[in-house]
Structure 1
């Protein structure tokens, strides 16, 4: 018996969902349904012997126990939405009579439209021409005459219109204009009917403001035209609810932009939002995040992009989007470095997706053909920049132009950056000819002494650096090998004879001076993570045979305590994705 009851409840929920989908798909009711809040659960003011009640604030409370068919659910929900669209919520002296009049007017409309199935299939609402006239007549009708106009609502024996004391329902801080939404739906339905009769192109392509905005980019804005031509715009409320998208989001790997229709953006705001998401994808913000906090990185990107688009005059910036004059002239990385110093403030800000959610969907590098995708975005932006300037299509901020050009240049590898850092401390040694040791390369003229090239021994004094190496179990062997190999090859090419090495785990182990190429063979990774590095710092600071001006390279995975360096030049070599538990003062190189 219990299983049969569960099966019945599941079937009732399926019928409700099918009816709701019919309403969503209909051009007249779709906009109203997406803007309203339709709920079917316990704890709501649903009618006990009916299907639904509509509140003036835009809520539709549905009976979770009703087992009505999908066609009846579609009819009932559309009935409730029409009360909002036809502006039926008016204060009247006889509110019950006014509800009766409104029910008749709505049923006449739905019957003419042949939408859904009537709740009472054996009765038809009498035609009325004017609601106010019928309202005045009802006062003087007998009970039998009044019954002809009664019981056409969706709440059974109750009134299906409820004045709510709640604040007006808003989506993204915008008040809903229900009659305007209804008028837009009617206009779209008429356009669809005319287009179908004339065998015109697909109506959604021309009538959708999202597709019109995409066409505008393709035809009138060369910078983003090629990208707009490849992206698919999805305005599906169900996807937006599932992904918690308040306004919009982008999935660069799938070339898709998701826009929530309930956000009610006008044409100018749609252009701004689409350009915002295009730039997120094209500038590869998801991939550039690297080790940074995903949400705060998204916030930093939004500040920069919104400033650019405002300066460029692309569409109109929706109210409430991130914008701050203090970040003018800064790139995304610089903005990120600022906002991480005030997490209490910036954690509360909302992206286009919502508070605490980034509007860049999908993990970085989650596409097999990621190289092809990078090439597509790089080529599209480069060519778009060229055509945009050739045709004089408007102002472009210098920061945006610099980022587009930087995309065309290959990124600098971590070992190259590390070599540049070392170069600032170890200038190349100048070799001189000397007869102290003759050159042996004289097989043709062995009787003629020739000088050899050699470096002065005193030039090698103090030519060293320190290596503080995390040898805990959390360190990955392949990354450790790559780091030590890069250090060894650099030291050999720059005539660094030895490095002072300290291994750190639960304690510091002084390995003394070692040839860089011998370090890798000596390292033994042990322990279970959680390294104490500060004793190694003290050991080097107190060592009499280690120069105070020698630089220090710290190799760790970030699972360590806070360290304090007393004025010594230093840098960190870490795996990509790892973070230090403190703000580093030296440079950080990311191993890949």
Structure 2
């Protein structure tokens, strides 16, 4: 028994300790988007340290011995290649460019006093490197200096940058590098101001909780590093924030410093707000009631955090075991059945911004960062065995990380549901084209029933007011025409609407685009166009409808007819739609 107690635990590899230090240091935003992996047998030489690929893979040589400081230097060296945009496809085979990049990274590490220089790097470069281009030009003029500038983290003159292709996603390592430096400067200024006020080494519990996520909880570590904490008393009081709130657009986390919570309670609160942002709860609200949607999100998130044993749930947090295992949408439906009871329990911790902002370039980059950060955190958390995660949370993270299905693909599925493939049969009424080869043998031809083909028709109600963009109309009508022809639908009943309906009759799909005209430029009133089709005996009662509008329309009475909406991306219908909505990008 004594032998078991005295048995020492295996020591942690130095490169793991160094990597944790980097993830909580100056380059934490960049480091949280890259995950190291050990090299396969035969992939690296015995004396190699590490190398980095153009797709953000950091390959380590676990057989190389080194101190924590030396590994910190080497791993930061590789990270800087990504952050400084050194992967130029046209120059990856040029030794002068690779050497110039190593010189600039070496100069940066020496000036910032990062880590401990390994013995092979403890020499002075032959000339100062002010930029990659300057060093590259100088080495081109003096190629004899290439042998003296070997600062690669691999041996035998091999480069530590390996081209493996373009990134499969939109991660920008350069922006993450800039963001890391900006956050490091802000932390330094904040720390110096507190020291100047005589606060010494004391840090509020919520800042200590944030640091805990950076160093010890990889699932939410990247998200924790990306938010700016706003703890100004006047600001949070003016915004009516009693505990905490998150603004996903501004990437700001508002915390009330007067809230009396201990460290474990702040861990729970911060994880709660990070999951709001990571799972895109503000965007997924759509046309739902924002107060009840926030309540439903809190019920689900709080139950997950209890299962994960993250911090300690405060007494005022919303929790109901009856909702365990349910999705946010399912809980929302339950909450809506007792609106009066749940309206007064609004936590007010999810701040909704401008929905159209997410359609801008900056909005799409922020959205992509949230999706990538939580997915990469899940992969690292699972691979390292860092703790239990509820199945519902894992499913939501994997669903959020996948890009949304393009509208034209969803529209194609809708066509498949409405128009099944036509069955063909053989008929002697029309001879096969092979008949001429064997005139003495009658051969039937494949054909479809003409009556069935004539019944395949659908309606298009098109908003042609001046607010509709012509390019979006062209994209929508072009896709409709293509899908109609591919599914043997040769009749389309078209009605244009702005302030009044304009019946275009039955058209062939390829004639729709040429018949569109912008009339009147008045307000959008689509109900008269719907009524025109509903009261027309020539239009089948079971024919589906496609409604193309900018969303500025009243609730439509469709009398149970199958229908779908096509609206511009970023717009929304003023009423909950019963049919599917395809957003034109």
Normalised to the residue count of structure 1, the TM-score between the two structures is: 0.56
1:270 matched to 2:262? The reply is no
1:517 Cα offset (Å): 2.6
Write out aligned runs for 1:119-518 (5 A): 203-204=201-202, 207-253=203-249, 255-290=251-286, 294-325=290-321, 327-336=323-332, 347-353=343-349, 358-359=350-351, 364-365=357-358, 368-430=361-423, 436=430, 455-518=448-511
Q: Which residue of 2 aligns with 1:573?
A: 566
**With structure 2 as the length reference, what TM-score do the two structures score?**
0.57
CA offset at residue 431 of structure 1? 5.2
Structure 1 unaligned residues grouped into runs of 5+: 1-191
User: Contact (CA 8 Å) 2:476, 2:584: kept in 1 or not?
Assistant: yes
Instruction: Quote the offset at 1:493 in angstroms.
Output: 1.4
3-state SS in 1 of match to 2:534: helix
Secondary structure in structure 2 of the residue aligned to 1:261: coil
Change (3 A) 1:566 1:227: closer
Q: CA deviation at 1:506?
A: 4.2
Instruction: Give the match's secondary structure for 1:262.
Output: coil
Q: 1:342 to 1:533 in 2, by over 3 A?
A: farther
Shift of 1:433: 7.4
Contact 2:524/2:552 (8 A) holds in 1? yes
CA contact (8 A) 2:358 2:364 kept: no
Corresponding residue to 1:588 among 575, 581, 584? 581
3-state SS in 2 of match to 1:212? helix
SS of alignment partner, residue 378 of structure 2: helix
In structure 2, runs of 5+ residues without a counterpart are 1-190
What residue is the counterpart of 2:534 in the other structure? 541
3-state SS, counterpart of residue 547 of structure 1: coil
**Matched-pair contact (CA < 8 Å) for 1:249–1:361:** no
- 1:271, 1:315 within 8 Å by CA — same for their partners in 2? yes
Deviation at 1:275, TM superposition (A): 0.3
**Distance between the aligned counterparts of 1:300 and 1:520, measured in 2?**
44
* Alignment check: 8 A CA contact 1:504 1:531 kept: yes
Distance in 2, matches of 1:502 and 1:367, equals 32
Report the Cα offset of residue 214 of structure 1.
2.0
Partner Cα separation in structure 2 for residue 302 and residue 476 of structure 1 = 39
- Matched length: 389
- Assess if the C-alpha contact under 8 Å between 1:253 and 1:366 holds in 2: no
Deviation for aligned residue 1:280: 1.7
What is the aligned partner in structure 2 of residue 23 from structure 1? none
Rate the CA distance shift 1:350–1:475 in 2: closer, same or farther, 3 A: same
Residues 515 and 196 of structure 1: CA distance in aligned 2, closer, same or farther (over 3 Å): closer
Q: Is the 8 A contact 1:571 1:588 kept in 2?
A: yes
Q: Secondary structure at the match of 1:465?
A: strand
Once the two structures are superposed, what CA deviation does each residue of 1:49-74 show, in whole Å capped at 9, x if it has no partner? xxxxxxxxxxxxxxxxxxxxxxxxxx
Cα separation, partners in 2 of 1:564 and 1:395, compared to 1, 3 Å: same
1:116-138 Cα offsets, whole Å, 9 max, x none, are xxxxxxxxxxxxxxxxxxxxxxx
**CA RMSD, aligned part only?**
3.9
Deviates more, 1:573-582 or 1:211-220: 573-582
User: Which whole-Å deviations, capped at 9, do the CAs of 1:331-353 have from their partners, x for residues lacking one?
Assistant: 33444455567666655443244
**Partner Cα distance (2:363, 2:555) in 1:** 37
Q: 1:529, 1:517 → 2: CA distance? A: 27
